[in-house]
Structure 1
């Protein structure tokens, strides 16, 4: 049991630190050349954070100096690397110490990450704003808030999801570490100056359950920077007796159950073997992540005559080319909070690629069932949808082609147009 006097001392020290930081915050900013500079920060892999890369590019194109901070495990887009206004600052991806109980290992990693992030953010040119991706929010939200107090910057959180809801997939909702993470995320989340979020449903949740002021939240609905390619299906659909190309992308994490797709493909193989006139399939699942080896082992045990499956990693420049060449997208993302939307579907729609997507709470904000794609709940439904969509493939009379026509006719706002309407005013007016 901890000494009460020691706990009191720590509490007093913590209050003193907070008071000092608040005093620093209230000091006049004074003249400096960094006004307008933005730090776009991710406590994750920059190359696999497309939305934050889009933010950085949009800011740079409108004259802001940008510091893009995060892990460099995967190469960012070439437009990021070539832009003179974007300065990339790499932080190290720390591994968990393999010593002692797991809770000790986790706490040690969080403390080490906090120290590294705090030091790095104090070293960079002073930003007027820090735009932080959440999740992961532990320890990045608290650290960034403290840096903003010291450097008199404004904190903007871009809420992609809740970190505690992702943790609950592994540990369960009642696990103490999940409950602590939820308390932490809601406490520090409401200390931000402004907030972006990916859906209207998340905006409502941030208001109701996190007590974040309504006027500080702006839904920045996912829009793709991709467009339909000339090499896409406008020409290829008329080529007869060719395989259909299915594409899915993933981070190979617990919120995407790829056994649903594998079981649906087994059923599809049976349909073809039973004489139903369906095309052969090439199924490409692209991405990196912790469960990739597990699913590759399952795929290796499957023996198909009419289906080929491959699981490559594609560079950022190659991925839209693959989407533009595909016939159908499949999304297995099942939001841990039910409040975020899969960027993979946004990019598929940007390329006018119809989608079959697994159902969750606010998916209807993006996928309109039987209009631009189909929503399924299990492998049986997905198998039936694949059969129905590909029955008249590749003719223009197929339902698959109808979905593509609907996507072309929808005249979706692109990322840059949407960003200028919803995000730019925050940086221009404050």
Structure 2
């Protein structure tokens, strides 16, 4: 988070710049004290950017005082993040950009998260960086049937409480039986997925303006209307019938969709209110905050992930998609300049630029769910292959460790 990313409330606007500069100075001296006094002298300081101010300045000074090497791990550009709130033309953004570039060039080495960022750093910043792709932690992996059953039982109350009125998933009453959930049933020690279960779509969001959640809502409405049109439904269809268990062969062409949206953020309540007013027949939404233990299990239990991340610089990749692939979950992601370094179209996921494109993808992927959706199965196999092809330890050994060893060797000689 940048020092200027959150404006203080209850103060005159003229005092905001002064207070923010004061905040940066306090952070600078706190960092310098910690790096120079509280920790043992290291061979190298490895700092993730952003935030750039005061971090890069403090680490550069500490590395000089302690005669240590200095490496920057570029995950994005701080000035582009600041530009989201202040505008790219802001004088603060220009100053921030200068500091970030000046002190970034003073590092003894650099890592970055994409080839596109590597090119930008080389061409316009004069920085030679090694690409180190983010990889999922070891605990992000596919979820077993037994784990799915236990997870859905723990989440039963959340899943059975609609946002607003009753919807196509449940009428607000949870299952009283430990051997049955919305998605699974248990017979003895064996767990089975229900054939008439809804398709589960997961999206993780920070509920901020840089992630346009409206695209997902519009796509859900389009899916709902198109399925209704295919089923020749009209407004006179009673709500009681809509909640009945799906059995008609024609209806089985397209499943009910349950979107679980995880995360916290400033725009959450605004979109929850919009969801309450939708009155959809074939789509339902749940918002929740999951524990660090349950989040990977949910990703591994879902049928599809949706990523609404749009990079402030256009040069970084969403970690949430990396985690989804680690769990073998295929993804539909917003398209931008370098996303195809991660999402391989028609191999482990699909890209979209509008709500109508996302709706088309949902219809295509879930037609014939759960047994006859070959396109979705193909993407799942690709996601599993992507998630298992490399892990953090492997990526670090192959790319980061040689650079760090080289920088330390050059700096000490």
2:333 — aligned with what? 357
Distance (Å, rounded) in 1 between the aligned partners of 2:126 and 2:255? 52
Deviations 1:271-299 (A, max 9, x none): 23332642112111112233333333333
Report the counterpart of residue 153 of structure 1 in structure 2.
68
Cα 1:120/1:252, change in 2 over 3 Å: farther
| RMSD, matched Cα | 2.4
**Does the 8 Å CA contact 2:365/2:373 hold for their aligned counterparts?**
no
Verify: 1:301 aligned to 2:295, yes or no. Answer: no
Matching residue of 2:45 = 130
CA spacing shift, 1:281–1:397, aligned 2, 3 Å = closer
1:94–1:113 CA contact under 8 A, matched in 2: no
The 1-side partners of 2:75 and 2:111 are apart by 9
| Distance in 2 of aligned mates of 1:309 and 1:186 | 43
Aligned to 1:175: 90
Aligned mate of 1:416, from 388, 393, 413 = 393
Structure 2 match to 1:195: 110
Q: Choose which of 237, 240, 243 in structure 1 pairs with 2:198.
A: 243
Of 258, 282, 285 in structure 2, the residue corresponding to residue 282 of structure 1 is 258
How far has the Cα of 1:122 moved from its partner?
2.7
SS of equivalent to 1:386: helix
Q: Deviations over 1:198-248 (max 9, x none)?
A: 101111111111111x2xx21101221222222389x97963111111111
Structure 2: segments with no counterpart, 5+ residues: 149-182, 185-191, 232-250, 409-413
Equivalent residue number for residue 380 of structure 2:
404
User: Which one of 324, 337, 349 corresponds to residue 313 of structure 2?
Assistant: 337
Secondary structure of residue in 2 paired with 1:311: strand
Give the whole-Å Cα distance in 1 for the aligned partners of 2:52 and 2:69.
Answer: 17
What secondary structure, in the 3-state scheme, does the structure 2 residue paired with 1:375 have? strand
Per-residue deviation, 1:95: 8.1
Structure 1: 5+ residue stretches without partners:
1-42, 45-92
- 1:258 and 2:213 are equivalent in the alignment: yes
Aligned-pair distance for 1:172?
A: 1.8
**Aligned match of 2:133:** 221
Shift of 1:381: 0.6
Q: 1:378 to 1:155 in 2, by over 3 A?
A: same
Tell me the distance in 1 between the aligned counterparts of 2:374 and 2:54: 50
| Residue pair 2:352, 2:358 contacting (<8 A) in 1 also | yes
Contact 2:208 2:265 in 1 (8 A): yes
Superimposed CA distance per residue, residues 307-355 of structure 1 (whole angstroms, 9 cap, x where no aligned partner): 2222222222221101000000000001111100111111111111111
Distance change in 2, residues 1:396/1:227 (3 Å): farther
1:338-376 deviations in Å (ceiling 9; x for gaps):
100111111111111111001100011111112211100
Bigger mean CA deviation after superposition, 414-423 or 334-343: 414-423
Paired with 1:174 and 1:114, the residues of 2 have a C-alpha distance of 26
Contact 1:224 1:347 in 2 (8 A): yes
1:75-97 deviation digits (Å, cap 9, x = unpaired)? xxxxxxxxxxxxxxxxxx99847
- After superposition, the Cα gap between the structure-2 partners of 1:97 and 1:262, relative to the gap in structure 1 and judged at 3 Å, is closer
Asked if the contact 1:228–1:350 (Cα under 8 Å) also holds between the matched residues in 2, the reply is yes
- Deviation by residue 1:79-123 (Cα, 9 ceiling, x = unmatched): xxxxxxxxxxxxxx9984743423223223222222222223233
**Partners of 2:27 and 2:76 in 1: CA distance:** 20
SS in 2 for 1:272: helix
Q: Deviations over 1:154-178 (max 9, x none)?
A: 2221111111111222222111111
**Do 2:326 and 2:384's aligned partners in 1 also have CA atoms closer than 8 Å?**
no
1:203 and 1:401, CA in 2 relative to 1: closer, same or farther beyond 3 A?
A: same
SS at match of 2:134: coil
From 341, 357, 366, the counterpart of 2:342: 366
Question: Contact between 1:137 and 1:185, CA under 8 Å: does it hold in 2?
Answer: yes
Measured in 2, the distance between the counterparts of 1:200 and 1:219 equals 6
The separation in 2 between residues aligned to 1:413 and 1:122, in whole angstroms, is: 36
Per the normalisation by structure 2, the TM-score is 0.75
- The 1:158–1:289 alpha-carbon spacing in structure 2 relative to 1, beyond 3 Å, is farther
d(CA) in 2 for partners of 1:176, 1:166: 14
Distance 1:117 1:242 in 2: 52
Q: For the residues of structure 1 that align with 2:48 and 2:276, how far apart are their CA atoms?
A: 36
- Gap change, CA 1:343 and 1:94, over 3 Å in 2: closer
* Paired position in structure 1 for 2:80: 165
Instruction: Provide the secondary structure at the position in 2 that maps to 1:324.
Output: helix
